[in-house]
Structure 1
Amino acid sequence: MAFHYLLLFALLNLRLQCSAQRYLVSLGAGSHGAVPEEDYWKSVFPNTPMPKALRDLLPLAASGTKNMLADMVKDDKKPTDGFGNYAYSDPSKEFKGSKNMLGDMVKNNDKVVDDRANYGYGNPSKEFADGNAPTNKDVYFFESELHPGRTMILKDLTKKASKATFLPRSVAESIPFSTQKIPEILKYFSLEAKSAEANLLKETIENCERPALGGEEKYCAKSFESFVDLGVSKLGKNIQLLSNELEKETQNQEFTIGQGVKMMGESEIVCHKMKYAYAVFLCHSIDKTAVYTVPLVGADGTRARGLAVCHKDTSTWNPKHLAFQILKVKPGTVPICHFLVRETLVWLPN
């Protein structure tokens, strides 16, 4: 396995070497040593600092390193969250891990399939098949329950974030990303067709290509620039980027809603970080969906700001979706809410 990991690392580094060199040359042209993504942000939002949640996804720190791509592979040993992953997977076929970057994602992945954002697809009958939901009643809830004093188990607010970052745009655009090119992609990453890692890549690509539901617009962003371009093209430049905020790392999962719950609007674009070898976001906007910022206080005193969304029209959802099973309601009858997981980002008009 160690040899396989080193081979994967070497092949990936070799394939991307030319693109990486061009990228590093471009760093010298940036203002005051800024990486190209920082310059791009300033060109679009000259008076707005880049949010930390987005800065953490930059492909290279301002100081720079020629081992950028190598570090990306070596350090990516945590899974991306399953929430927002439009999964078709079956928990009974949970992947077994290996020591390469995708294998580590697989190995550490919770044995929970959450179709929280997969309203019309997926396999709702198998969600939380291992019985390991923190408490199902906290996964989905009614809008009237989003009030100060309510205590909830928010496991995925405290789960450590994946270290997968964006690739430079030129590099990301040079790598195939299509179900029609799966064999080429697997060859690129030196993966066996029937491996767990191959299944992980395939599922993410399939989720990006799935048809949109009624009232939904969707798009997968595979670079920093395409992520920014999406927000601007849909909402204009007078926008803000919201993220979950945690005061400090904590093992505590019990939080109480504090004063100051605020409805931010209904014109948001919610972007879910997908499971992939580098940062890929599935972004979508759904009609009649409100986003809230929610002050939270943990049982250990940790303060946080969570993002929650309430879907006011669920008429196009799969009737067997977990939300209806938990809340014992039918599609299209009442608004249904849920918190967004830690790595989710939301574009919203100012």
Structure 2
Amino acid sequence: MSLFKFDQFVFDSSNHRLTKQGLAVPLRPKASQLLALLLENSDRVVSKSEIFLSIWHSEYARDHLLFQLISELRKAPFSSEFVRTIPNKGYQWNVKTKIIENKSWLNIAASLFIATMCLTSFLLISSGDKAALKLTQLPAHSAFSKGVIAMHTGNPEDAEQWFRFALNENPESIESSLFLAETLFHQNKMQESLSTLHRLLNTPNLAEYNMMTATDLLSRIHQRQGKFKDALRYAHQSNQTNVIAQCSVDAVENRIEFLERIIESPSDMDEQELLSTFDPFNKTEHHSSAPENEVDSKFRSNCQQLLNNVDDTSYCAPEDNQDVYVKTQSFNDVELS
């Protein structure tokens, strides 16, 4: 994982996040994938067939789809000089770029290690028993913990392996199934993610919050496919669960509101107009039964940090309906291939 600095931009390859002078820059997921591919191979020409295989997983993708992505990397706020066309060969990144290795995962690992050692020392000191205390977990829980850490450090492949191991050890773990479905989603393994979710939803006596989480992920999957009506249907199912967790309810209702705006908005509606209507923390209605001055400010602060960041981007309809172009937003997820 690296940070690429070029012109006034910084691109984080671990999460495909692009910023300009510290401000997030909207970029479609496939355009972001192409940017990453060009940056990581800036010392050579990248052929069209290589781009097709990397982004569409096929050598026979349509040329106009690639031309559209190239155009996006040449227009504002970028420059037409950023990507160079090499006739009959391909494309090459044409901007002086500085690469900085991203060591944030080391800091996280070090923090976890220090926290574990401190907790162990505290328990040893506070215990009247002279025998050494072993803070060991059973393999299923240990694997689940490793999977969560792998997700937060940008290693979905490792996370998938740990969650699968946890499920082998404890097939009844709902949390492991939910996290497995999420990490499959982030790897574009959509069919596997859907299968995992459908098996989970058939679990007898599934807790309401877990049902809410599973249907919310189903909504996000269909949103990524451009199936906004299906996405809205699953979002409504998620909202109909008997859950009183206010932050989670707000997150689902925000998704419903946004999907409704997408479906109802004119196809030529200005993107900024749509974005300006979506502010999850600037609403006149409050769902909490408590007066506003009694709402725990720390809870609201934590909730605001945990709610997904909303980045504006756009998605094309499936290739069999290319004349439809829909403006939407990203909830920090990876686009379907």
TM-score, length-normalised on structure 1? Answer: 0.22
The structure having more radius of gyration, on CA atoms, is: 2
Q: Which has the higher strand share?
A: 1
Q: Which has the higher helix share?
A: 2
TM-score, length-normalised on structure 2? Answer: 0.23
